[in-house]
Amino acid sequence: MRKITNEASRAEYLAEHKDEVMRETFCRAFCDTCHAYPDQAAVCSEGQTVTYGELLRWSEAVAHKLASQGIREEEVVAIRTGRTIETVAGMIGIWKAGGAYVYLDRAYPKAREESILHECECRIILDPAWWEDIDKENDLPEIDYSKAEGLALIVYTSGSTSKPKGVMLEHKNVVAAMYNFQVFELKKGEHFGVFPGFSFVASVSDLYSTLAAGSVIDIIPSGIRRNINALVEYYIRHNIKITFLPPHMARKLLNMDLSEIPLRLLLVGSETVRNLGNAPFKVLNVYGASETCSMISHYEITDAISGEVCPVGKLKAGLKGYLVSDDGKLVRRGEEGELWLAGAQVSRGYYKLPEITKTHYIKNPFSDETGYERVFKTNDILRELEDGNYQFVCRKDNVFKIRGFRVENTAIEQAIMECAPVKEVVAKVFMDKGGCNILCGYFTADKKLDVKAIKERMKEKIPYYMVPTCLIQLDAFPLNINSKIDRKAIMPPKELNNHKLLEKLY
């Protein structure tokens, strides 16, 4: 894989060598790195470190065992080994064997995990028991059945019911994202602190771009990911040079004493960025989605920003964007429109959801250029600023970001209805004075209900970030002129800025 850190040079190279690039896969780039730096550290996790040579052996052992189990092309294999070196080796080994993976987060409720396993028809699960007879020490013949057009992984995101949607990412999507990640100039031996959960699409570019560059994947332990003091100590102790944080954690970080922190680059994203202070290192607002294999643009934050929304930058090489009005026409600069995206990072579609795929992935009405024949309708409303940078305005649908995770309010509402005998329900997000999104649920019922018991039942069904911080029972919802629930008239609780009191009261 050719390394090109300059934006203009990379765009020129990708345009001139489009066919060649479209045939590349991560596995080939990874093997090249392993042979170039066999004794270089590759992955660190919970005090354990493996070199590139060792990681190659581990992944080959996984691939050979899967082959002996009769893995089929594009067969989906589940991974349930947490934030470990085994997980990284398992992902690569599955690809080498010609399969695709779906990662099962240990925080998933049992019902969500079972739903994913059933939908993906997973007959093989890489869990600790599966690893027991893996030979990590002996060299095995290298195999690689990955194909650029092949299915690489499925990332589950929020659905319009409490059932999530699986986004199908292909190997060519991963490679395209890796090329665009080169702008961050990852260096050999440099530690990249991996913060996102492995079920989150941001981890895709973090993991594979780091390995392709010969850098070190430093997996931040789950136990400290919400503790900013412990996180800063970890950055210092492990000499972390680059990391990604969601905005609410980035705000906390920039309020800390950063005199000893080794960071040179902080990536911030996954929800609207505002209210960020100055930093002694470079801070970039990155923008993307599961359906576009993570980052499609970034914007350097050079000064502290307060109430205004930070721009998300210009699209990366190999991508074309169109801002489109409700009637399907291109809007002018400065006007708001839905972003339609074309290019190599646009995913295959939604797993086993052909009708929804046809709605969101369509033939490009604005270009028939090779490589840009399809567009993904992002549902994001953006505007183009005078300097050519994009600025995020809002979601076109009822989707919002909580702790970096994309969630549809209908999924929250469905979960509340499944956990309690409510009549009407509304899930709504409010932003506190610090710029954090706070999820609130409102409902009516025929009798007084125990909101704490409802929240406990919700925790058994859906991920923690989908459980409202506060759950409030109303006598009745405000109505608009058409006698429909007036969502805009629903006000936040007065304790919005006191999170602990908010959870205690509601």
pLDDT in tens, 425-436: 899 998 888 778
**Do the beta carbons of residue 197 and residue 105 sit within 8 Å?**
yes
**Do the beta carbons of residue 109 and residue 463 sit within 8 Å?**
yes
Query: Residue 494: beta bridge partners?
Result: none
Rounded Cα–Cα distance for residues 228 and 245 (Å) = 11
Distance of CA 213 to the CA centre of its chain: 21
Band (454; pLDDT cuts 50, 70, 90): very high
Residue with tokens 């052996």: 57
Mean pLDDT of 194-222: 92
**Do the beta carbons of residue 169 and residue 153 sit within 8 Å?**
yes
Band (14; pLDDT cuts 50, 70, 90): low
Tell me: the pLDDT tens digits for 472-487? 999 988 976 555 678 8
Band (74; pLDDT cuts 50, 70, 90): very high
Q: What is the pLDDT of residue 436?
A: 81
Q: What is the pLDDT of residue 324?
A: 96
Among residues 478, 415, 471, the alpha carbon closest in space to that of 448 is found at 471
Q: Which residue has the higher pLDDT, 281 or 431?
A: 281
Q: Is 432 exposed, middle or buried (0-12, 13-18, 19+ CB in 10 A)?
A: middle
Band (400; pLDDT cuts 50, 70, 90): confident
Element (H, E) at 363: strand 361-363
Which of left, alpha, beta for 415 (phi over 0: left; psi -120 to 50: alpha)? alpha
Most confident of the ranges 86-90, 161-165, 265-269, 488-492:
86-90
**Do the beta carbons of residue 310 and residue 274 sit within 8 Å?**
yes
pLDDT surpasses 60 at 17: no
Q: What is the pLDDT of residue 482?
A: 52
Name every residue whose Cβ is closer than 8 Å to that of residue 70 and which is 6 or more positions away in sequence: none
Band (399; pLDDT cuts 50, 70, 90): confident
pLDDT surpasses 70 at 174: yes
Q: What is the pLDDT of residue 385?
A: 93
Average pLDDT of every residue of the chain: 88
Rounded Cα–Cα distance for residues 180 and 266 (Å) = 16
First to last CA, the chain: 53
Q: What percent of the chain stands above pLDDT 70?
A: 91
Rounded Cα–Cα distance for residues 441 and 463 (Å) = 15
Of 179-183, 232-236, 348-352, 494-498, the range with the lowest mean pLDDT is: 494-498
Q: How many residues does the structure list for the chain?
A: 506
Q: Which residue has the higher pLDDT, 215 or 436?
A: 215
Mean pLDDT of 77-89: 97
**Do the beta carbons of residue 473 and residue 448 sit within 8 Å?**
yes
Rounded Cα–Cα distance for residues 253 and 255 (Å) = 5
Q: What is the pLDDT of residue 149?
A: 94
Q: What is the pLDDT of residue 12?
A: 61
Mean pLDDT of 111-130: 95
CA dihedral 222, 226, 228, 232 (to 10 degrees): 20
pLDDT surpasses 60 at 161: no
Q: How many CB atoms lie within 10 A of CB 352?
A: 14
Rounded Cα–Cα distance for residues 309 and 306 (Å) = 8
Beta strand 240-245 with 191-194 is parallel
Query: Residue 294: beta bridge partners?
Result: 289
Which amino acid belongs to residue 279? A
Q: Number of C-alpha atoms within 13 angstroms, CB side, residue 45?
A: 20
Q: In the chain, what are the domains?
A: 7-384 (3.40.50.12780), 399-505 (3.30.300.30)
| Residue 414 structure tokens | 């469905």
b/e map 87-104, b = 16+ CB within 10 Å? bbbbbbbbbbbbbbbbbb
**Do the beta carbons of residue 429 and residue 78 sit within 8 Å?**
no
Helices and strands in the chain: count of H runs, count of E runs? 15, 25
pLDDT surpasses 60 at 5: no
Rounded Cα–Cα distance for residues 242 and 40 (Å) = 18
Find the helix packing angle between 171-181 and 26-36, rounded to 10°.
Answer: 50
Q: What is the pLDDT of residue 502?
A: 73
Name every residue whose Cβ is closer than 8 Å to that of residue 490 and which is 6 or more positions away in sequence: 426, 428, 442, 477, 478
